[in-house]
Structure 1
C-alpha cells in the first residue's frame, strides 16, 4: 500500500520504541515511520525536520514531556495528529491531551491491534479529507471557469504581460488557463488613471483614491448591459465592458461624470489628476488584448500631452526606428558621461538626455520610462562600485513606482535627479569616515616608492576604492591628481639630491623614478623653469 501518513515515535524507553518499530506492519496500513526520538527536545527537532502527519508520544520524557511536545508541535503544524501512550492510568493526562487535540490515548503495554486500528482510522480520515479537497479543488476550478471570474483572470493576465508583447503570445498564455472565448458579443476597454503627484504620494492615500474611484466606476457602469470586469494596477484602473454595440459618446459622457465625481474628492487629497481612455469595441479576444495594450501605452503618453482628459484611444505609432535611435543617443550620452561625483554632473547629464527626448519623434511615454530606468540603473551600478552596501534595487524600484505618479516629462526627470542625487550623497556620506586614512596612506606610499613605477589602479585597489573614485577623493583632499602629486614628490626629491655633489643628473633622475633623463629634464624644467644642471649651479655657486 502507498504510504499515506508519515509518523514519528517519541518515548524515553528504547525497548518500547524498538517494539513499536517492529510491532506494526507500517507498509500494510499505509504509514511510513520517519524517525524515533528518546526525549522531548530531540522529538521536537525531528518534527521540525521531517514534518510528520502523526506523532506517537509518551507522556513522561526528559527535556520536554509529551504534552509540552504536543503543544509546541501543534504551533508548528495545527493539523498534526497526536496519539498519547503512557503507563500512567491518570485521566487528567487524557483530559489535557484532548485540549491539545490528541486523537487517541493508549496505555502501556501497547496492544498491537489497538494501535493498528487507531492508525488505520487516521489513514482512512486522511484519504477522505484528500478526496474532499479534490472535490473542493474541482469546484473552485469550475468557479474560476465561470465567465465573470475568467474575464477578471483574463484581464489580470494581460496586464501582467509587457505592453509591447504581441497579442498572439499573450493569448497563448491565457489559453493555458482556459480555452474559452472571452469576447462573445463584443467588448471594449476603459482605462482610468486617478492620481496624486509623487511628491504628495503615500501608499495609503493613493489606495484610498483608487478605492473611491472604483466605487464610483461600479456605480456609474453598473447599469451597462453585459458584464463589468475591473482590475487595478500601477498603470491605472482597467475596465472591460462586454455588451451589444453602444454609443461611444455616451460612454465618454459617463467617464466625464466619473471624472467630476473623482475630482470632487479634493478635500481628501492635496491635488488630484484624472486621465481616461476609451478603446474601440472589438469582436475577438486577440483584438481586445491589442486594445488593452494600446491603451496602456497611450496612458503613458499623458506625460507628453496633458492630464485631466477623457479621450478616445489613438493608436500609438510603432516608432521602432525612432526608439532605436533614442536608445543609441542615450547610450552615446552615457559613454561620454564625465566620471564625476558631483550632483551638478548628474543634472547636466539628465538635462542632455531630456533635450534628446524632447526632440525625438514618434516615441511613447513607455519608451521614455524604459530609457530613464536605463539611466537610473547605469548610475546606480556605478555608485554600487563605490559602495557595495547601496540598496541599488530598492532605489530603482522606488523610481519605477514613483514614475507612474509623474504628471509631466519635466517632473519625471526631476524625480530621477532626486533619486540619483540622494543615492550619491548616501554613498559619499557612507564613505566619508573612510576617506582620510586612505589618502594619508597613499601619500606615504608615494613618498616611500617614488623611485619605482607606481601602478595607480593597484594603489587605489589597495585602499579599497575604485581608481575613478580614489582619484576624485585624492584631488579633493590634496588639490592635485595622483599623477600630479607623484610628479611633485619626485621633483621635490630631485631638488634635494641635485645639491649633493657626489651624484650626477642621470643618477638623480633614476633615483626619483625617471629612466629617461631627457624626459626627467623636460619635467624638471616645466616645474621649476630651469634645467637640473642650471638648478644645481644656482645652489652650488652660493
Structure 2
C-alpha cells in the first residue's frame, strides 16, 4: 500500500478526495492532508509519503515550489498536480519539472484512477528492480561466504578483493561458524511445500540475524536443504554469549515458527583465513546429533566428552538373540524388553553400528512373524509400515523407541490371544518327547518345537527339570524299553528301534548304563524269561 498526502487550500476538495475516492482499491492510503505549501512540506518530512497530490496554487508555496523543495532531500516522492483551466501553463511547467501527472478541476474520477494507476505501476516496477538488485547482491554475498567457509582457493588467494566485492567486512578479530539444521525434515516436507519451507528458512534467518547482530555481524551461506550456515564476526574478538544466543534461537523457532532446530557451533577462528576450519569442525559436530538428540545446540565440549567415552568404552557389544527376544515376547516382558534393547545398544559409538543392531531386531521380528507361524498364527498380520524405516530416524533414541514400540505391539497382540507361558511350553516340550521318543530327536529338533535356540533350551531344560536334555530323553526311552521287553513277542532289536535306537548294540550299551544289566539279562533276571525264544 503506497501512502498519499493531499495538499489543497480548499477544504471541500480535500474532503471530497478523501471520501469519494476508493484509495485502498487502487493500492493507496491517504496518510495526511495540508492546507498550504508550508504545512505540506512539513508533513512530507514527517509522514514520508510516496505520492503528493497537490494543488498548483496554494498559500506560502506553489505546487511546483513544493515539489522542488521536497526533491532537494527526497527524490523518490512522486507528485500529481491539480490545476484549473486558467492554470494550464503552470501544469505544463509542473510536468516539465518531473510531475508524474496532472488533473484538471473539477476532477474526473476515471482520469484520477488512470493517473494513479500509472503511478502505482511505476512504483511496482521500481520496487521489483530494487528487489532484484538486493537479491542479486544477497546471492553474491552468500556465494562468497559459502566459498570462504569451504576454503575455496579462488576466494582465499584474493580474499580482501573478493570480500570487498561481496560487501563482507573481514576486519574483525574473531569469527565463528554456526550450522543451523531443521529437525524432522520428512515431517516438515509432508506438511509444507518446498516454497513454504523456503519461507520458513527465510523467517528463521531473519530471527537469527536479529538475535545475533546485537553483539556481532552475521553473514549467511548455503549449507544444506534443511538448514543454513552462519558466519558470526565478533567485534571485540570474543564469542559473546554465543551458546546462550543459540539456545534463544532454538526456543524462538519452536515458539513462533513451530520448528525444531539443532545448532552446531564450530571453534572460533582468530582470522578470516581460518574460517574454513571453524566450518569443518562445526560440520563434524553434526554426527553427534544421532547420539545427543535434536532440538538443542551441540558444541565442541560435547564432542570432547563423546570421544573420551568412546575411547574408554569396551568395544564388545551384546549380540541380539532370537530366543531371548521370543522369551521376552512370550513372558510379556515390556519393561525387560526395554532393558534388553538398552543393553544391545550399549557401547555403540557410530551410526553404522546402531543401524546394524536395529536391523538385527527387525530381521528377528520378521522371523517371529513369518517363520515361526505355529506360534504366531494367532497374531494379526503386520503391515509393512509396522517395520519402521530407519533412514528417516535422526537419533539413536528414535531407533530404540521404534524397536520397543514394535515389540510392545507384538507382546500386546500375543497377550490378547492367550499365548503360552514358559511352564506350558515346558509341558509341551516334555509331551513331545514322551510321544516322539522313537524318532531321531536331537536338542536342535526339540528347540524348533518351542522356537528357541538350542543353547537356551539346554539351560532352560536343566533349570526346570534338574536334568539335562539327553539324560531326560534317555530316561523316557529306557522306561518305554522296559515296557516293550515285557512283550515276549518282540525281539530285542525291534525294541531298540521302537525306542529310537537304530543300532541294537548301542541300545544294549545305553540300557546297561541306565539299568545295570543288558536288555537280554533284564528279561532273564527281572522278567524271568528263560526261553531262547527271546534271544536276539
Would the TM-score normalized by the shorter structure come out above 0.5? no
Q: Which structure would you say has the larger Rg?
A: 2
Q: What's the TM-score once normalised by structure 1's chain length?
A: 0.42
Q: What's the TM-score once normalised by structure 2's chain length?
A: 0.42
